[in-house]
Structure 1
Amino acid sequence: PETDVRPVQITDSHLRKIKKNMPESIENREKRFIKEYGLSSDLSYQITRSINLGLFEQIVKETGVSPTLVAATLENTVVSLHRDQIPTEKLRDDHFHGLFHFLSQNEISSEAIPEVLTYLANNPESDTETAVEASGLGMASSDEVEKIIKKLVTDRKAFILKQGERSIGALMGDAMKELRGKADGKTVNELLRKEIQILLNS
């Protein structure tokens, strides 16, 4: 032992203080994200070890968008686009901030995310507003959506009468393709079910 230095007694209080000031371990952060943000264990594992960690926390805090959607976009959607030869390395943090701001304001739907990111990756000098306008991905009005759904149900009348409620799956795919991300899936599904029931009960 060092004879010129007085011994320091380590108390429980010291230990608690040291523990409090220690940086959060990845494992503890992973558990916290599952509890705090409602992420799946897989998504929490990914984002806590990702270079996008700081960006994820900023976006969730600033926009209030679903943490699962933010994490899945940063970790999965971008990877998927990269596999499709989209130059995702050109995407900047402000592109993502703009994207999720638009989502939080209900100016685009989550279904539009891949197309908006594709435009921004191919045109990195652009901003989200330009990308949404150029891609024609602004949210459709409720009247527009209803009009498209009614036309689809009318056009597929024979199929619906034959398949009954089972037709919802096929029609949902057709509707989302027609709307190209201009309406969220939940709204489209509800309208489709309503129109199908009207037809089946007529």
Structure 2
Amino acid sequence: SKSKLVHRAIKRGSKALAVCLPRFKGILGAELQPKRRFGTELADYARQWSGVGGIVHSDELPGYGIDATIVKELQDALRCSENDAFVIVIDESSKALDAINVVKKRAAYALIGVPKETRAANPDGTTRYMRPQPGAARMYPETDIPPITVTEELLKEAERYRPPTPDEKVRQLIKHYELSRELAWQLTHSEYLSLFERIAEKYRDSVAPTIIASTLVSTLKSLASEGVPVENITDEHLEELFKALARGALSKEAIPEVLKAWVHEPGAPLNKILDKLALRPLTRDELERIVDSIISKYREQIARRGERAFGLVMGRVMDRVRGRADGRVVAEVVRAKLREVLKGS
């Protein structure tokens, strides 16, 4: 044959198989729908069940570089009479054999009637074979997709994409982000896991992952229990919040108040919310001046209690600076100032 189609397929190592369909001459070329013939139906079945690219049938020959001489030789080889048709499949040996068997079965069923099947819609309004209709034949094995041989190589490849189990994920969070087991478990079983990992990877150098995690699984839950409409807070709001925390635009103590205010103005920029709440972070000098004023006010009690006055001073300072200064920084300044006062007394 001079057919380029045949030569290319044979070069790839494909095999050509054919089957004679008695008394089907003219039927394979019969148009059932616009631009779709019975041969097209057979091709759809062959593609769906065997994975071949298509079929060639005698009603469309000569064609594809297969001339009348070759057609006659094929008819003779297949012992086809004048009223018979034949189908050729060129593909891998196993696929081609599967396709030939499917074509034979579908052609034989045409003598009974129209099979019960689910059909897919084509863009031009015609339909094509998709799968058998639901029923006992569809239960086992699954007929929506062709069978796949599960090999050791396939299993190894699948293992690369296997997500961790919940227990494995908890261990990963504990190891990678130094979270407590309880916090890691809550995250793993929450809707915020992927958001946490995204934010923590961005800002973990500036914001402790524990703060991010507790905000997502504890703070939001606590606010919701108070009737705060936390559903107004989106992932974008939370990313902006931790971005601001990372650059020092607010303290972690301010997070609940900021979220509580932001839910009522979700379209407002974070800066506007911070200004409205007067939660701009204090500078170190501003914090030290506030601590000095508290110590001055309670000097007598400090003198009596000594270092035990830390709790008193810390409490009064936090009443003034809560949400505008990090608690650890406040404690550091209070201790340093108390040491100075007690040392000089």
Fold in common (TM above 0.5):
yes
TM-score, normalised to structure 1, is 0.90
- 2:220 maps to 78
TM-score, normalised to structure 2, is 0.54
Distance in 1 (alpha carbons) for counterparts of 2:156 and 2:303: 69
Structure 1 residues 150 and 57, CA gap change in structure 2 (3 angstroms): same
Which of 50, 59, 74 aligns to 2:199? It is 59
Question: For this pair of structures, how many residues does the alignment match?
Answer: 197
User: Aligned Cα RMSD in Å?
Assistant: 2.0
**Long gaps (5+) in structure 1:** none
* Higher helix fraction (1 or 2): 1
Distance in 2 (alpha carbons) for counterparts of 1:166 and 1:77: 31
- 1:136 maps to 278
Report whether the alignment pairs 1:152 with 2:287: no
* Higher strand fraction (1 or 2): 2
SS of 1:122 mapped into structure 2: coil
Report Cα offsets for 1:90-130 as digits up to 9, x if no partner. 11111111110011001111111111111111222222221
Distance in 1 (alpha carbons) for counterparts of 2:287 and 2:297: 15
- 1:24 maps to 164
Structure 1 residues 146 and 9, CA gap change in structure 2 (3 angstroms): closer
Amino acid paired to 2:264: N
Q: Alignment identity in percent?
A: 32
Amino acid paired to 1:169: G
User: Is the 1:63–1:104 contact (alpha carbons within 8 Å) kept by the matching residues of 2?
Assistant: yes
Report whether the alignment pairs 1:33 with 2:173: yes
Spell out structure 1 runs of 4+ moving beyond 6 A.
Answer: none
- 2:339 maps to 197
SS of 2:248 mapped into structure 1: coil
User: Is the 1:33–1:39 contact (alpha carbons within 8 Å) kept by the matching residues of 2?
Assistant: yes
User: Is the 1:43–1:72 contact (alpha carbons within 8 Å) kept by the matching residues of 2?
Assistant: yes
Report Cα offsets for 1:1-55 as digits up to 9, x if no partner. xxx99xx7854x5543332222222211111000001010000000011111121
Q: Which has the higher contact order (CA 8 A, sep 6+)?
A: 1
Distance in 2 (alpha carbons) for counterparts of 1:125 and 1:196: 44
Larger Rg belongs to: 2
Distance in 2 (alpha carbons) for counterparts of 1:33 and 1:42: 11
